[in-house]
Structure 1
Amino acid sequence: MAERFIGLMSGTSLDGVDGVVADLDAGRIAVLAHASAPFPEALRAELLALNTPGDNELHRAALAANGLAHLYADVVRQLLNDTACSPADVTAIGAHGQTIRHQPGAVDGIGYTLQLNNPALLAELCRIDVVADFRSRDVAAGGQGAPLVPAFHRAVFGQVHQTLAVLNIGGISNLSVLPADGGPVLGFDCGPGNALMDHWCRLHTGRPFDDGGRWAASGRVDPLLLARMRAEPFFAQPPPKSTGRDLFHPGWLDAVLGEAALAPVDVQATLTELTASACAHDVRLYGGDASALIVCGGGALNDHLMGRLAALLPKLTVCSSAERGLPPQQVEAAAFAWLARATLRREPGNLASVTGARGARVLGAIYPA
């Protein structure tokens, strides 16, 4: 009997919601349908604003969570329609929520990670069990709460006879190293992915992202600016580590730019090189025996960025996850469908070797239909 789960992901890129219906029967991973919906501009602006302290935050966050739940429900309805499924045909929805603060281990030694969501409303709207709040249990156990996708990467991409690296480039980039011998998986955040590139592109061209990286490709990398960016201490920290818009936000970019008089296109080229060089450095340092780098997330659609990764990693095959059976914009949503199944089965969803938690933990909270 099919075990159908829906996974919903809205990431730090703040471009919208991706959702999949996946058949996870007996651990098999087969995506049956994919749907996406862009954020309405007002909701996107509010989610972005909530990444930094402001007035009346609790009220605004609660209303934004309601708006997000309605958008999630729209994607669920589209998925059900596309697969001719009823709510009763789906075991559960794994809904990640929208990260607006990520401070593991900070302030009091425990810290927190906060994903804006209203899973109770989503369960009410969709009449399907909802699993949410995946990250907080790992943080409570001393972990980073991120990344959580390496366990899924191992399940879907892992090979017995070769070490592989998987690079997810969303708003933030994160790397998974999958050893050939079945040893502990390594995973951590590398730094910014698309978040700063998208911000700069929107600011100077009015477009939401640099389509194919063509704008960046027409510019010139400024080595002094790149060096100032790479001097950010996060890049030199050893794993386990994770980051987000708490660090890599427009204010960080403004501070690094300072009084530099650079053409906007050259800044875009340098931002793209920052993402490529930081990721390539981590692949060389931690995935040296990998035979291939599998790239997923929106960054896999940036031809210029993919070209730079290939140039910086000439000994590896650099390819899109589509070439390994799962299109890049479906990977994270499928991961949270898979994590929802683990939650219902009371199976651990984290990898302590990745997050630094004290051990394996069952993740998430369940909201019955």
Structure 2
Amino acid sequence: MFALDGDQQITALTASNVERFDAGLTKIHALFDTTGSPIYDSRVGAAFAMLYARFRAQLDAAQVRGFDALRFPSGLARGAQIRNPGSIGLARAPQFYTPQVSYEDWARWQVKTGWIIRAVLERTTLFVGEGAGLDDFAARAHAFEAAMFMLGYDLRNLQDDIPEQHRGVAPEVAEIDETEMGLNRVPTGHPFATVIEVYAKFREANPTEHSENAFREWVQNNPEAVDRPAFHNAFGAYIYPLRPREFDLFERTVEDVRRIAAGNEIGLIVANDGPGYVQGDARERVCIDCAGLTGLAYASGVDSDGRAVLLVNGGFAGTTGSANTLLSVGRAVGQHFGLLDAQFRPTEWFIRFFGDGLDDFKHRLNR
């Protein structure tokens, strides 16, 4: 269904056959396909969204009515980059991991973007001579995708010469939401250890049916297993660490859940899918980031008020209240996985796990 030279309809990709989609799976599908199906992550989506928004911005009012705003979805960057044309005054792109972009919709955009790439290559000599062991056309398609990946790193690369009348505000004075820029590392507040413990109980009782909805029903029907009434009232917030952008526990085996619930070094290796911290390009695994930032903040030697101010000044939180939420989650995650000691300072495992992966965070805290 991802092949670009078939006769399938885009509607063939549905919720029933696309049970999951994310930045990792788009890479897997692109690797398995031999016709040039592109990786469609936040960078590639942002580049296409920006180029099309620029195209529409160059049209006059009469012309633009013939070109609806294509809805190329994108996602948050990890750092200070901009991946949404709306942040610099153009049409906004729908965002991954929101109700605007379902799994099947993301998969469809991988195919639609591939068709667009092929249509361009059929009419041009772009990337002629690319090889990489694929047929010429597929190799050219991947070269095109790679170029878009680089362009989409930060859309400010493409903001010059946008007609003033077609953007909301000039990019240099735009008020850009830091949560969209990916700097903000504030998670949804939740008692991490309690959530993991309760979820582990649920999985032991339900080894086969373990969806989010099944967990919600179990929490409602087993009040004796949940010692916090707020778990019932704030279920959506409490399951924050269970979801795909964090530790993706709904898709884990029972044995993996047991190990993660037990915590310490082994638990983190399982939860992290590996023994070391890898700084991703998108805003994901924020719980681990919070543990890292909390360790850095406590190691800085400032008092409790100073730690919150440190995080606000570094751009990791907008207010001292949200900074304290970050620290609260960071302390819970850090101690659960043995990254922080009883005084919330970095342990030897913290140093081994993070390595030099927090260097950009350190720079922002010390700037």
Q: TM-score, normalised by structure 1?
A: 0.22
The structure with the larger Rg is: 2
More helix by share: 2
More strand by share: 1
With CA pairs under 8 Å and 6+ residues apart, which has the higher RCO, 1 or 2?
Answer: 1
